[in-house]
Amino acid sequence: MSQQITKICDDFLSELDIAIGNVASENIYVLTDDNTQKYCLPEVLKSTKLTNCHLINISAGDENKHIDSAVTIWKYLSENGATRKSLMINVGGGMITDIGGFTASTFKRGIPYINVSTTLLGAVDAATGGKTGINFIGLKNEIGVFAPAKEVLINIDFFRTLDHKNLISGYAEMLKHALIDTPDELKEVMGYDLKKFDLQELKPLLINSFRIKERVVEADPFEANIRKALNLGHTFGHAFESHSYKTNKPVLHGYAVMWGLLCELYLSYVKLNFPKNTLLEIKKLAKEYYGSYVFDYNDYESLFEYMTHDKKNESKEINFTLLSGIGQIKINKTASKEEIFETLDWLQSI
């Protein structure tokens, strides 16, 4: 799998023009959702390379990252002259870069695409690393392929359109990257002022976050081994997210990941002696800024069932990425149903 280029743009339009010019294409298709069509597309369309582009728009929200939306995109491409020499540009958060990358990489066995990530969460999570996909039968990212974008462009000015909840949703993934890196990186990320959320102060942390992920992906592009480190917090987190949609009380991905991080750090503490003081510091931060995921004992079985569908699983065991310390990654660790339920008890108690 080719290495993907991720850039935080200093001059977005000129860098977008260069990225488009680096791909020999006959025609260009720009994918947005309702939000990015309104807030971000006007700036994107100032590019001189997009004068005659085709526009595709789908409904916003992860609940719309499904096969019907994919069919809508494929149908538009097919009916509007797309060929294997076409280029797709996905303008949006993680939902758009996931489904846009998936539909581009499967249409006519694959057309090139560029991601223009418009959310902090999308920038540090879905837009980079080459994973694409859609949700299926209520399961998160159940269908997908590994297919990296030609380039990922980050325009921090687009983050100014986000409310505070969506900004701290992205921060959760940055915290995850710091946890699998070094104590110094974790200290820097934990020291960031979440109330103030100054985007210029965020920029160096964001660059570090990209580099951490890129190093892991380069070492293991198809998630056979160490790339599973990036799933820290996601076995529980995806279960919370899927459950929230099933109960019609959807939560943001980063919130689900934060609660998932708490659970998997608790398991790490119980099983691998992960430092208790670090667990308690992150617990305090999560409680202050993310609150609690509301569920009760009657939901334990369905949450456990969602975990059985996690893509890291082998055989019938549920696999977790755990830590024995900051940056001390232990992949393919298992936990019993009783241990998982004990962890859910702990999460409810905080």
pLDDT class of 340 with cuts at 50, 70, 90: very high
Q: CA 225, CA 314: separation in Å to the nearest integer?
A: 13
Q: CA 133, CA 101: separation in Å to the nearest integer?
A: 7
Residue 3 has a pLDDT of: 57
Fold adopted by 164-197+222-349: Dehydroquinate synthase-like, alpha domain (1.20.1090)
pLDDT at 2 over 60: no
pLDDT class of 68 with cuts at 50, 70, 90: very high
Q: What is the pLDDT of residues 275-286, one digit of tens each?
A: 999 999 999 999
Q: CA 309, CA 142: separation in Å to the nearest integer?
A: 8
Residue 5 has a pLDDT of: 74
Residue 202 has a pLDDT of: 96
Of 14-18, 209-213, 338-342, least confident by mean pLDDT is 209-213
Residue 4 has a pLDDT of: 65
pLDDT at 304 over 70: yes
Q: What is the pLDDT of residues 223-254, one digit of tens each?
A: 889 999 999 999 999 999 999 999 999 999 99
Residue 313 has a pLDDT of: 72
C-alpha count within 13 angstroms, C-beta hemisphere, residue 189: 28
Q: What is the pLDDT of residues 204-231, one digit of tens each?
A: 999 999 999 989 998 998 888 999 999 9
Q: Hey, CA dihedral for 254, 259, 260, 266, is it positive or negative?
A: positive
Residue 88 has a pLDDT of: 98
Domain ranges of the chain: 5-161, 164-197+222-349
pLDDT class of 169 with cuts at 50, 70, 90: very high
Domain 5-161 part of CATH 3.40.50.12160: no
Angle between helices 183-190 and 276-290 (to 10 degrees): 30
